[in-house]
Amino acid sequence: MQMPAQWSNFINGQWVGSDQQLPIFNPATGTQIATVAQATTEQATQALDGAQRCIAERRLSKGRPADRVCLLLRVASEIRKIAEYGAKILCLENGKRYSDAHDEFVEAARYFEYYAGMADKIEGVSIPLGDDYVDYTVYEAIGVSVQIVPWNFPVSICARSLAPALAAGNACIVKSPELSPLGLCVLFEALEKAGLPKGAAQLLCGLGSEVGGFLVSSPKTNQIVFTGSVPTGRRIMQAAAHWATPCVMELGGKSAGVVLEDADIHDLLVNIKSGIFLNSGQVCSALSRLLVHRSIYAQVIEAVSTMVKGLTRGDGFSGADITPVISARQQQQIGEMCKLAQEEGARLVVGGGIESEVEGFYVQPTVFADVSPSMTIAQEEVFGPVLCIMPFDTDEEAIAIANGTDYGLVAGVFTNDLRRAMRFTQQLRSGQIFVNEWYAGGIETPFGGVGLSGYGREKGQEALYSYVRTKNIAISLKGQ
C-alpha cells in the first residue's frame, strides 16, 4: 500500500513539520516505514496558546449546543469515510490485525455519534432556596484538555476522550504515542475535514518525556486525561499536583476471571481466546489471570492448552490469531517475565517466550499453570499473550485471590448459577465486572479502575461529566 513517508503535527488548524523526525517501524518486519515530525516544546506552547484562544473566544460554546451536535456527527461521518485507509496505516505501524484496526476507526466514529447525542443535553439543575433566591447550576467546559494516548488502541482511546471533551466545548490537545502515531494523524485528517474550529483539536507527535511532560506541567492546561502505565501516571499526577490540575487516570490492570465448576467450557475458551490473545495480550483489561475451581482445573488446563496450540501466527493483514507485539523492547520484556515466572516455580504449559527464529516482534502465546498469587507473573502486568492459571477451592478463596493485586480494572466470573455470580459481582473489587462474557459492554458503559488502575471514568454518559465543571449561580431577590 502507498502511504506518505513523512507525517506531521496538527497545530492551530495547520499540518506542521519539525526539524527532528521520529522513525516509525512495522512490528511485523522490524523495518522503518515512515517518520513523523517530532513536536517541540515551542510547538506545544503554540498549541496551548491556540487552545486557550479557542476557549477565550468560545469558538465551540458560543452558538447553540445543537451546533456541536452537528459538528460531532460530521466528524463521525468523516471518520467512517477514512476507516479502511486508516486501518491499513494503523495495521502497518502497530502490528495489530487489520480487522481490529478497522474496528478502532468504527468505534471512534461511534464515540462521536454517541456524544453528539449528549452535546445538547448537558443540563444543570434549579435548587429551591425559598422565595428570596433563584439558584441554579450550569455545566461549563473545563477549558484546555490535554489528552495523553498509549500505543495499544491509539485511535479508539483518543476518540474515547476527544468526543466527550468536544461535546462539552473543551479545546483538546492530544499527545500521540511515540510508537504508533500515524493512525491518529489519519483521525485528525477526518477532524480537519469535518471543519472543527481552529484550536479545538490539535495533535502533537512528540516524546512523552519532553512534550508530554511539558504539557502536563503547564499552568495553561486545565485538565489531563492520561491513559497508560502506572509509572508514567505517577509522574503525571506529581506534575499535575503543582497547579492542582484535575486528572482522569486510566492505568493498567491484572484482571482475573473466576471459573466456577458449572461453567460452559466451550464458551470459556472463546472468551479466553479474545480475553488474553486479542492484540497479542496488549490490552489493559486483558484476562491475564484465570482462577479455576479445583474440580475442573486439570480439564480446563488441557482444553486451554489445546486451543492455544491451534492459534495461528502472522502479520496484521494475514488475519492470524497472534500478531507481533509493538516493539523489540516489549518483546524482550515479555520474554523476561516468562523466564521469571519459571524461575519462581510456575509450570509452563505451552509457549514460553519470544519467537527468535522469525523476523518481526513475535511472542509465543503462553500459558502458565500452578501459579501462586504471590508470584510476580500473578501480580504485575505483562502486556503480552501470557495467561496464568491458578486453582481455588472456595468462592471466598477465589475472591481473595482475584482482589489480591494492587490493580482493579476489570474482573469476571464464568458460571450458569446467577445467584452465585451476583455474589461475585458484589465482592470483586474492580471498575467493571463481566459475567460469562469478557469485554461485555461497549462505548455506552462506564469504564475505569480502582486502586492502581486509576480513577475517573471514560465511556458512557457518566464520562461526559469528567469534561465539565459545575458552576452554581445564586441570585438574591431580597429588597427588590
Q: What residues line the site for ligand NAD (CB under 6 A)?
A: 148-152, 157, 175, 177-178, 208-209, 212-213, 216, 227-229, 232, 235-236, 250-253, 284, 381, 383, 409, 454
In this structure, how many other beta carbons lie within 10 angstroms of the beta carbon of residue 136? 13
Integer angstrom CA distances of residue 32 from 35, 60, 101, 117, 431? 8, 39, 19, 41, 38
Phi-psi region of 419 (alpha: psi -120 to 50; beta: other; left: phi over 0): alpha
Catalytic residue among 93, 104, 250, 381: 250
The CB-nearest residue to ligand NAD is 208
Shortest gap between Cβ of 215 and ligand NAD (angstroms)?
7
Cβ contact 221:245 at 8 Å: yes
70 is catalytic: no
113 is catalytic: no
In this structure, are strands 287-293 and 255-259 parallel, antiparallel, or unpaired?
parallel
In this structure, how many other beta carbons lie within 10 angstroms of the beta carbon of residue 107? 19
Specify which residues 255 forms β-bridges with: 287
Residue closer to ligand NAD by CB (options 156, 364) is: 156
Shortest gap between Cβ of 466 and ligand NAD (angstroms)?
13
Residue closer to ligand NAD by CB (options 274, 305) is: 274
**CA 115 to chain CA centroid, nearest Å:** 17
Sign for the pseudo-dihedral over CA of 283, 289, 292, 296: positive
The cell numbers describing 69, all together, are: 451536535
Shortest gap between Cβ of 411 and ligand NAD (angstroms)?
14
Give 265's Cβ-side CA count (13 Å radius): 15
Shortest gap between Cβ of 217 and ligand NAD (angstroms)?
8
What is the C-alpha separation between 388 and 390, in angstroms, rounded?
Answer: 7
Residue closer to ligand NAD by CB (options 154, 169) is: 154
Cβ contact 378:357 at 8 Å: no
Catalytic residue among 158, 284, 338, 388: 284
What burial letters (b/e) apply to 419-441, b meaning 16+ CB within 10 Å?
eebeebeebbebbbbbebebbeb
For 180-286, strand residue ranges (E) read 201-204, 223-227, 247-250, 255-259
Residue closer to ligand NAD by CB (options 288, 366) is: 288
Residue closer to ligand NAD by CB (options 152, 415) is: 152
Shortest gap between Cβ of 301 and ligand NAD (angstroms)?
26
Residue closer to ligand NAD by CB (options 212, 275) is: 212
Shortest gap between Cβ of 380 and ligand NAD (angstroms)?
10
Residue closer to ligand NAD by CB (options 38, 271) is: 38
Shortest gap between Cβ of 58 and ligand NAD (angstroms)?
28
**What kind and span of H or E run contains 14?**
strand 14-16
Q: Which residues are catalytic?
A: 250, 284
